[in-house]
Structure 1
Amino acid sequence: MTTLSRIRIGSAPDSWGVWFPDDPRQVPWRRFLDEVAEAGYDWIELGPYGYLPSDPAVLRAETDRRGLKVSAGTVFTGLHHGPDVWDATWEHVAGVAALAQAMGAGHLVVIPAFWRDDKTGQVLEDRTLTAGQWRDLTEQTERLAREVRERYGLRTVVHPHADTHIDTEENVTRFLDATDGDLVSLCLDTGHYAYCGGDSVRLIETYGERVGYLHLKQVDPEVLAAVREEELPFGPAVARGVMCEPPGGVPALEPVLAAAGKLDVDLFAIVEQDMYPCPPDRPLPIAERTRRFLRSCGA
């Protein structure tokens, strides 16, 4: 039996064109909070640390009066570099995790480092990890997940992402097979997984017990074909509109939600439509239409 009653829908600063803690091209944080509530969402993510107030008392007052709750914080990591990057990584993670915990969130979304600059396309390192780097990636991710759980009570969900080393079906399944399911779960981003050629429904059906969090997103297949042909980095691909408003792209979200519903577990499904940069008046109407569409899917 499929039930979507245990799937909690939210949105994120990303859907308002927010990628950085401070950028004049982004909407102010108060406007984001006003509009995400107006669009009908109850849950939000913190977005880039420093965009929303980092003082829990201030942020709680602002979210409470808008009827909003926080589902997760997000960090970028380069754990395939091994123990040498641990101290710097943990310093960043601890701040985000502490704020997420204080806001009552239960998850920390961990995104791997880019192998090429997401704006300029400059190749920063080999796109293929060595066996030793894979070992460092999996061992250090487990270490991070253990520390985050013990110190902050958060569940670590790793987010496969375009232009990172955890991207394609092959790399995602290799990562899952090499990590402890009791420590490390997956944040399945349907758009990024499709961007990299993966099938979200098949992944849920195969590794359902490892899926701990969802990002709902679609890609425009025509734009994606051009992006692949031109080998565009992720930032310019987004600026070209590779991530599109549902239900106009792939994957179809109805079967993804149905597959997730069959797991019969509590799951967040956070809408993320990458739109950086975008005009300030663009996000709200899209967010409202997307929320109506997801309600039509039963979510």
Structure 2
Amino acid sequence: MSVKLGINPLTWTNDDLPSLGGDTPLATCLTEGKQAGFAGFELGHKFPRDPELLKPILQRHELELVSGWYSGYLLERSVEEEIEAVQSHLQLLKAMGCKVMVFCEVTGCVHGDQGKPVSERPPFPAERWEEYGARLTEFARYTLSQGVQLAYHHHMGTVIETEAEVDALMQHTGPELGLLLDTGHMTYAGGDPVEVAKRWARRINHVHCKDIRANILKEARNRNSSFLNAVLDGAFTVPGDGCVDYPAVFKVLKDNDYQGWLVVEAEQDPSVAHPLTYATLGHNNLHAFARNAGLL
């Protein structure tokens, strides 16, 4: 597939903090996302999980389903248990024509706990890299056999968030596992998304384009904030409205023939950051970055 521009419904309504945009109907998200110029949406908690219901909704808005988040527990579950647990989600993505599944290991995660700083997230158990890598590779091999490749999402407040942890994950897993590069999460974790892209470009199969307001991130770190409080304070924004070097990131993607979705995923308080305004700004900036890099 060629590069396409998508968006996550977090711009309108937040999965981790449902009070944000809780009253916003799904139809509003889809209508405004299409109006802003996007070709597809990732799943959110307001989307029906039955493809027979979801397909006509997206078709009416002339949108595609990009992918959807899956919470993995392979540090606790066997591969067989994870395969059983993923079935309904996998079948939905297959039926909707998705090529990737967003996967994040959430054992012990703290990103959904507003009262817990991200600094209190559990460290990855170093003695388990080889075992976990083999387990995750086997699980990824299974979903790939079903036509959907895992895209591992490094995420603040989880066991794999830093540049070094992403490197270790890639080193201990096979090519069956793809990497979701999230520019905002990597920047928040103190890493360099450009360098991560350079090292693992051939494994990147999905990209989340979240920008960072550097001054607010500095304050969030100084206050030892939770992930959700950083969201409420405005640490995240759409591409081109923060400090991430998107031209450099996209040059790496172009040089390595990236083909897939570029997805705006920028959690903000919709009562402060007007969703249509920011969705439009995000699309226009993302389109310009991608066009200038030769991705479009």
Alpha-carbon RMSD across the aligned residues, in angstroms, is 2.5
TM-score, structure 1 normalization = 0.88
Question: What does the per-residue CA deviation read over 1:111-134, in whole Å, with 9 as the maximum and x for residues that have no partner?
Answer: 121533532207998622223433
Question: Is 1:25 matched with 2:22?
Answer: yes
Question: Is 1:295 matched with 2:291?
Answer: no
The answer for the alignment partner of 2:92 in structure 1 is 99
Of structures 1 and 2, the one scoring higher in RCO (CA 8 A, sep 6+) is: 1
- Give unpaired runs (5+ residues) of structure 1: none
Question: Is 1:44 matched with 2:41?
Answer: yes
Question: Is 1:213 matched with 2:206?
Answer: yes
TM-score, structure 2 normalization = 0.89
Letter in 1 for 2:4: R
The answer for the alignment partner of 1:260 in structure 2 is 253
The answer for the alignment partner of 1:35 in structure 2 is 32
The answer for the alignment partner of 2:6 in structure 1 is 10
The answer for the alignment partner of 1:71 in structure 2 is 66
Please give the alpha-carbon distance, in whole angstroms, between the structure 1 residues aligned to 2:4 and 2:14.
22
**Contact 2:207-2:263 at 8 Å conserved across structures:** yes
Letter in 2 for 1:199: D
Letter in 2 for 1:178: H
Letter in 2 for 1:259: V
Please give the alpha-carbon distance, in whole angstroms, between the structure 2 residues aligned to 1:91 and 1:21.
28
For the residue of structure 2 that corresponds to 1:79, the secondary structure is coil
Alignment: residue pair count: 288
**Contact 2:121-2:159 at 8 Å conserved across structures:** no
**Contact 2:124-2:160 at 8 Å conserved across structures:** no
The answer for the alignment partner of 1:179 in structure 2 is 173
Letter in 2 for 1:162: M
Question: Shift in Å at residue 158 of structure 1?
Answer: 0.1
Please give the alpha-carbon distance, in whole angstroms, between the structure 2 residues aligned to 1:55 and 1:127.
34
The answer for the alignment partner of 1:121 in structure 2 is 116
For the residue of structure 1 that corresponds to 2:14, the secondary structure is coil
Further displaced range: 22-31 or 57-66: 22-31
Change in Cα spacing, 1:69 to 1:227, as seen in structure 2 (3 Å) is same
- Give unpaired runs (5+ residues) of structure 2: none
**Contact 2:99-2:147 at 8 Å conserved across structures:** yes
Identity %: 25
- Aligned counterpart for 1:162 among listed residues 135, 152, 156: 156
Question: Shift in Å at residue 160 of structure 1?
Answer: 0.5
Letter in 2 for 1:99: L
**Contact 1:18-1:26 at 8 Å conserved across structures:** no
* Segments ≥4 residues shifted beyond 4 Å: 20-24, 122-126
